[in-house]
Amino acid sequence: MSRKVAYQGEPGANSNIACMQMFPDLESVPCPSFEDTLDLVKSGEADLAMIPIENSIAGRVADIHVLLPESGLHIVGEHFLRIRFHLLGIPGSKIEQAREVHSHVHALGQCRKLIRSMGLKPVVAGDTAGSAREVRDWNDPSKVSLAPPLAANIYGLQVLATDVEDDPSNTTRFVVLSKERREHSPEENQGPVMTSFLFRVRNVPSALYKALGGFATNGVNMTRLESYMVGNEFAATTFMADVEGSPSDDSVRLALEELEFFTDELRLLGVYPASPYRAKSRTIPDAGRTKGSTDFLS
């Protein structure tokens, strides 16, 4: 049986591209929703899931902060994808004929300059690649799609304009999820490592300040901290965080121990290799892409 990596969206979506870049030897399996994507891994029908977690422009991806902790899956890797959008129409159409532009709400928001300059009517679709498929099926030169370059090849559409996103630094971070936890021992020379976890602070004054103090005193770099409410209550806040290093490092271990003292809940989501994009992006604004790897399946 071939190994599989599941993603949310239709063939040609950015998640599909991320799967192909990071796991070129695996079969990419499209799923209609994030829940379906996670269920495919939980059931064993797929080995991994590729899930977008945050975008450099749009911020965090909705619902992931709830679905990820509840899934019971573990983060075993990450991938950064430079987001590119092309304006696609049916074969033989001209850009002057376009009247409506269809795409995911985030894609429409990230290509506002083009939409306004052309006077197009934006129409929200469930998925970028799905909008390309719909434009093909409608066979109407007045309807165009904002979709990744791969979608043009898959659905046989004509590229009317390339790289039309407002910000060329637009990047999405994906996490790779697995049923099995990936262990990291201090003896292994695995390069830079990231640790993701969530915690809920106690409802006392200065709780967050005290909880995070251990990371400062132990010299641990926190690269991400996001908050969200727990259930329907306003009395407690849960935070999702990423730090550089592994719990097997003394600095991270001590920081997490101190954090636990000030929290009601502390849950490790994953310890995994840092993407090479992190090192490159510190010196190069538009860094290169991660090479394909299947190490996470070993």
Catalytically annotated residues: 172, 174
Amino acid code (one letter) for 117: S
% helix, strand, coil for the chain, step of 5: 30, 30, 40
Give the position of tokens 């640790």: 195
Place of tokens 């983060």: 75
Strand partners, 222: 243
Assign 250 to helix, strand or coil: helix
Nearest Cα to 186, choosing from 243, 253, 241? 253
Question: In the chain, where does DSSP find H-type helix?
Answer: 14-22, 34-42, 64-71, 105-109, 112-118, 128-138, 149-155, 207-217, 250-261, 276-281
User: With 0-12 CB in 10 A as exposed, 13-18 as middle and 19+ as buried, what is 97?
Assistant: middle
